[in-house]
Amino acid sequence: MRAIGLVDLDDTLFQTLGKCPPGVAMEALHPLGYAADGSPLSYATPRQMRFLSWISESTLLVPVTARSRNALERVRIAWDSAICAHGGMILDNKGAFDPRWRARMAAEAGAHAEALAALSRRVSEEARGASLRVRVLEEEQVPLYVLAKHDDGDAEALAEIVERVVPEVPPGWTVHRNGNNAAFLPPFLGKEHAVAWLLPQLRRRHPDAPVIGIGDSLTDAPFMQLCDFAMMPAGSQLAAAAFARAA
């Protein structure tokens, strides 16, 4: 182990079939993420597989993902510890949650439970008959954020609904969008908060190891800024913003 790698998963190490780059044959894609029924859902290209092999061999790999704990368990990647649910849960190398972090999240969530429930109802109302799944996502009985998905996978329709609700989102909240997923995050929740909690523990174990943050979206930037180095896919949202500033 030469470094510590804090790595986002979706659209960084792999993506859904529809987001895979054109020109890559189906038989060349490697399934890494699976649906609850066991069917493949997310795929890595040959270059992504080489990249994953490289960081797996050279770093202590720590996923930092928006995925829930259950969704993370359906990813076929070995890791040391993990941050999931947009930072709402920290897991050790056996998959057990950090009780101190859970207690902190529970204390914070208590002050936002009513707002979470109200926002969930508001998104459902704004759907206006559209086939939408809206719920307050919980981990270890702690309500963390509002998650919305379109049953037919219509990301454009979901985006329109979200846009109508955005003006009513409380100040300080974050609206995270990724295809057919929209998440409304209260102020206490964020990957960067969990990284700030976990990173000192990792540094104590490996004091001289450089920390590399890897992600694709603007919401990954805050946790990546806590690292010694940052990496991003060239075609990502984060790269587009960085390159635009540099132009």
CA–CA dist 132, 152 (Å, integer): 8
Sort strands 181-185 and 30-34 into parallel, antiparallel or unpaired. Answer: unpaired
Tell me the one-letter amino acid at 39: S
What pLDDT was estimated at residue 55? Answer: 96
Contact by Cβ (8 Å): 63, 83 = yes
Domain boundaries, the chain: 3-104+190-246, 113-185
Superfamily per CATH, domain 3-104+190-246: HAD superfamily/HAD-like (3.40.50.1000)
DSSP result, 87-98 = GTEEE-TTS-B-
What pLDDT was estimated at residue 153? Answer: 74
Contact by Cβ (8 Å): 94, 39 = no
Query: Could you tell me the two tokens for 156?
Result: 């454009």
* pLDDT surpassing 80 at residue 246: no
More reliable by pLDDT, 183 or 1? 183
**Mean pLDDT within 38-45:** 96
* pLDDT surpassing 70 at residue 1: no
What pLDDT was estimated at residue 81? Answer: 95
Superfamily per CATH, domain 113-185: Aspartate Aminotransferase, domain 1 (3.90.1150.10)
* pLDDT surpassing 80 at residue 130: no
pLDDT tens sequence across 49-93: 999 999 999 999 999 999 999 999 999 999 999 999 999 999 998
Strands in 229-231's sheet, in edge-to-edge order, are 59-63, 3-7, 211-214, 229-231
Contact by Cβ (8 Å): 61, 79 = yes
CA–CA dist 85, 50 (Å, integer): 27
Query: Could you tell me the two tokens for 33?
Result: 């993420």
Tell me the one-letter amino acid at 116: L
- 3: nearest Cα among 54, 68, 45, 40: 54
What pLDDT was estimated at residue 161? Answer: 87
